[in-house]
Amino acid sequence: MSIFSILLFLLVQEAVLAKYMLLPGNYIETVAPKEFEFAMVTGKIHFLRAMGEGQYMKAKTTCKGEGLAHLVMDDRGQEWHDYVLEFMESHFPSQSKFWIGADDMNWDKVHSWVDDTLVADSMKTFWLPGEPNFKEGAQDGRCVAMGKSPDSPGGMWEDVSCLKTLPITCEVRFP
């Protein structure tokens, strides 16, 4: 962990104490990465930022271009899943699908998050029925999108072509 990351983590802890314990001063604005929104969900500190639209690889590089950020990972259970969906719907109200940071770029029919951890079996409840099926488009549905529609109630996941242009949400999390 870099010195910058450690300092940022300590500043975030101070900011959380200031916010929730009503200590003098609220430093969230100075601690949060520029233009990211603060969220404390499931006991973890997150910063999210809506970054426009693009194909999956553009989404990954757009978030990496923000320093500590990565494409949002929907890997913290139902409470985080619901929060991510609400965030995406509020920032992209006319869209029905959004990129999340999971893919099968190894072509082994196993999805991994952008931090190289595997998508856990415990997350299977978030897949639409019949997904993942690895069958869409030129890239055989190797990238994962969260959707909200009559076919996808509650922001269910599906594998889609990485060439689709979908909304991008970047995330920084501690720890």
- What is the per-residue pLDDT across 46-80, written as a single tens digit (0 to 9) for each? 899 999 999 999 999 999 987 768 999 999 999 99
Task: Verify that 81 and 7 share a domain, yes or no.
Answer: no
Angle at 71 between CA 68 and CA 75, to 5 degrees: 105
pLDDT score, position 24: 41
Task: Verify that 20 and 44 share a domain, yes or no.
Answer: no
Task: Verify that 19 and 65 share a domain, yes or no.
Answer: no
The residue range of the domain holding 8 is 1-31
Q: Are 128 and 149 in contact (CB under 8 A)?
A: no
Task: Verify that 167 and 113 share a domain, yes or no.
Answer: yes
- The pLDDT of residue 14 is above 80: no
pLDDT score, position 12: 53
Task: Verify that 88 and 20 share a domain, yes or no.
Answer: no
Task: Verify that 162 and 77 share a domain, yes or no.
Answer: yes
Task: Verify that 68 and 127 share a domain, yes or no.
Answer: yes
pLDDT score, position 173: 85
Task: Verify that 23 and 51 share a domain, yes or no.
Answer: no
pLDDT score, position 20: 37
Can you give the CATH number for the domain in which 122 is found? 3.10.100.10
Higher pLDDT: 175 or 134? It is: 134
- The pLDDT of residue 7 is above 60: no
- The pLDDT of residue 4 is above 70: no
d(CA 161, CA 145): 9
Task: Verify that 120 and 81 share a domain, yes or no.
Answer: yes
Task: Verify that 20 and 77 share a domain, yes or no.
Answer: no
Task: Verify that 46 and 69 share a domain, yes or no.
Answer: yes
Query: For a pLDDT cut of 90, what percent of the chain falls above it?
Result: 49
- The pLDDT of residue 82 is above 90: yes
Task: Verify that 133 and 162 share a domain, yes or no.
Answer: yes
Pick from 32, 42, 15, 45: which is nearest to 175 by CA? 45
Contacting residues for 51 by C-beta, under 8 A, at least 6 apart = 59, 62, 63, 66, 168, 169, 170
Q: Are 88 and 98 in contact (CB under 8 A)?
A: yes
Give the count of domains, the chain.
Answer: 2
